[in-house]
Amino acid sequence: MTAPADTLAEISAGLRAPRAWVSPKYFYDSLGSRLFEAICELPEYYPTRTEASIVARHGAEMTKAMGPDCTLIDLGAGNCAKAAALFPLLHPARYVAIDISSDFLQASIAPLRQKFPGIDMTALAMDFSEQLVLPEQVPSARRLFFYPGSSIGNFTPAQAVGLLRRMRAQCDDDGAILIGIDLAKDSAVLDSAYDDELGVTAAFNLNLLRHLNRLIGANFNVRQWRHQGFYNAQEGRVEMHLEAREALQVAWQGGERSFAAGESIHTENSYKYTVPVFAGLLEQSGFSVATVWTDPRQWFAIIYARALRP
């Protein structure tokens, strides 16, 4: 696999930065996507099942609020399961699944086409963190952007506003967004969720190095690195890092770097919000909060927001 020039430049810049980093979008090769599915089954990882419980409890209210026949645009679709759970509730006219992992996305949407033949389905391989432009064949009216799983937390608040504004730019005035956000909570719960007992999250994080080896011709030795996942209270976010177990040298196409023992590559942030703070980000981005659904413990929220008229 040869990475496009812009991908190579982005990864190289991150690895050469004073504090090395790699975007979490590179977690999701085929194996990474499957490892994330496994993470979602872990007892420690509450977001997926908590979000699902909100849908199960408030599905009828969601249906009433949003109405049928929308174009459901699923950002970071993965295995498409979360969107598919909404099909019987929302009865969308069209489904557009967007994900960076093309092969995994195509394999995931194929059985849905058979199960829901009445829904027009499109699969788009796209890095929507950089740009979001939908093709002309996707109707502009009644677009509902679906971004579940608290994935918006991977972006800094400023970056999140940028992404939300890109969604707004792809909406007519009748557009909307349905988004999941992870709420601020006890740090022990968060630490456990991102550093599970079985080590599945560690495998997910470490697989990023294998992906980089294929993508940019790097020579990472996975055994020389360890996973770190913890809550940074000062920044209000969970962080994931890959820490060098020993002093080592890494080379890749057009670059190299030495890492000291204990030096790390920052691979992910997951910001935790309160509902009022996130509502403020939505308003900055051109959306107005219509309805908020949460679980009894107030651990997670699903927000439905409508496009504001200019």
User: Could you tell me which residues are beta bridge partners of residue 286?
Assistant: none
Distance CA 301, CA 260 (A): 40
What lies within 8 Å, CB to CB, of 18 at 6+ separation is none
In the numeric block, which tokens belong to residue 284? 């900055």
* pLDDT on residue 246: 98
* pLDDT on residue 3: 78
Give a yes or no: residue 204 inside a domain: yes
Residue 119 maps to which CATH number? Answer: 3.40.50.150
State whether 117 and 249 are in the same domain: no
* pLDDT on residue 80: 93
In the numeric block, which tokens belong to residue 291? 């309805």
State whether 280 and 152 are in the same domain: yes
Total residues belonging to the chain: 310
SS3 (DSSP) at 237:
strand
What lies within 8 Å, CB to CB, of 68 at 6+ separation is 90, 91, 92, 93
* pLDDT on residue 78: 87
* pLDDT on residue 212: 97
State whether 108 and 236 are in the same domain: no
Q: 237-244 and 264-271: which strand pairing?
A: antiparallel
What are the pLDDT tens digits along the chain (310 aa)?
577 888 999 999 999 999 999 999 999 998 998 999 999 999 999 999 999 999 999 999 998 999 999 999 999 998 999 999 999 999 999 999 999 878 888 999 999 999 999 999 999 998 898 889 999 999 999 999 999 999 999 999 999 999 999 999 999 999 999 999 999 999 999 999 999 999 999 999 999 999 999 999 999 999 999 999 999 999 999 999 999 999 999 999 999 999 999 999 999 999 999 999 999 999 999 999 999 999 999 999 999 999 998 7
State whether 63 and 146 are in the same domain: yes
State whether 141 and 250 are in the same domain: no
Other CB atoms closer than 10 Å to residue 252's CB: what's the count?
20
* pLDDT on residue 1: 59
DSSP 21: B
Distance CA 23, CA 100 (A): 12
What does the angle CA 66 – CA 70 – CA 71 come to, to the nearest 5 degrees?
135
**C-beta separation of 110 from 117 below 8 A:** no
What lies within 8 Å, CB to CB, of 233 at 6+ separation is 187
- Please tell me the total count of domains within the chain: 2
* pLDDT on residue 165: 97
Structural domain of 237: 5-17+194-270
State whether 60 and 105 are in the same domain: yes
State whether 129 and 145 are in the same domain: yes
State whether 104 and 177 are in the same domain: yes
Give a yes or no: residue 101 inside a domain: yes
Q: What is the dihedral of CA 299, 41, 23, 100, to 10 degrees?
A: -110
State whether 173 and 205 are in the same domain: no
In the numeric block, which tokens belong to residue 16? 């050469």
Give a yes or no: residue 23 inside a domain: no
Give a yes or no: residue 234 inside a domain: yes
Query: Could you tell me how far CA 264 lies from the centroid of its own chain?
Result: 22
